[in-house]
Amino acid sequence: MRAPAADRGISLLAELLKAIVAGDGAADTLAMLMSRTVELIDVSSAGIIVADPRWGLRILAASDERADMADLFQAHHGEGPAAEAVERGGPLAADLRGADDRWPRFGPAARALGYTHVLALPIRLDGQAVGALSLFRGADGRPWGEAEEVAGQVMADLAAITLAQERPGRRAERLAERLAGMLNDRGTIEQAKGALAAHLHCSPEDAYILLAEVAREEHCSVADVAVRVLAGDDGAIAGARRRLSERRRTATEG
């Protein structure tokens, strides 16, 4: 006899939390989550796609090979319910039997895999959709109910919790990325100091002060102003020139 949905949901949550506390990798935890999603919500398959700023959409986890193939079409062609759910930041239910005009590549491919209905739910981190959970249903043709949408969003939120957990190695990676960014910013600022000093006939030290004052006035970082100066932005250079004139006038009056 199958356990009630509430008991299965509690069991899933306990299993997920145990995996997170144990430090299991996100890939393994999400694979487990996809398997349990199929069981809990009674769908044919489930898969997760995330939006990578560098490479676009990519597959993160799938309950089976069919879901993996369906998400591959979404990721490769940049079309489908999951792609739209990420873009709009909200859920999207679709009947694939009449969706070829909307998704000319994904629609036929998904039906060839045996799917007729898809429910895509956003995975949000810091209030922004960074991916989507796709729930696939086969030829039984049942429309999505409200309870299924609620349960699906819970699973998407659990996926978000999993993605938010950074292991020590990833934290070290992030630190390295941050340090690299700081060094890059410092190099940019040094170049802008030299360029501004030559342009305004002042010392590099004064040029840095001018960059900082313009940044404070415009509520942005010194590195942002430095990039604009190196790009020849008239506004940034004029702001620095004006600040230098004010400093020299104040020094003369004093």
> Strand order of the sheet with strand 45-52?
56-62, 45-52, 128-137, 117-125, 92-95
Taking the whole predicted model, whether its pTM rises above 0.85 is answered as no
Which two tokens mark 198?
A: 């030559």
Q: What is the pLDDT of residue 221?
A: 78
Q: What is the pLDDT of residue 10?
A: 72
Q: What is the pLDDT of residue 22?
A: 64
Q: What is the pLDDT of residue 173?
A: 62
Q: What is the pLDDT of residue 113?
A: 87
Q: What is the pLDDT of residue 168?
A: 52
Q: Mean pLDDT per 10-residue run, the chain (254 residues)?
A: 58 72 70 87 91 78 86 87 93 92 92 92 90 90 83 91 67 53 70 89 85 83 86 89 86 71
C-alpha 141: how far from chain center: 32
CATH number of 5-165: 3.30.450.40
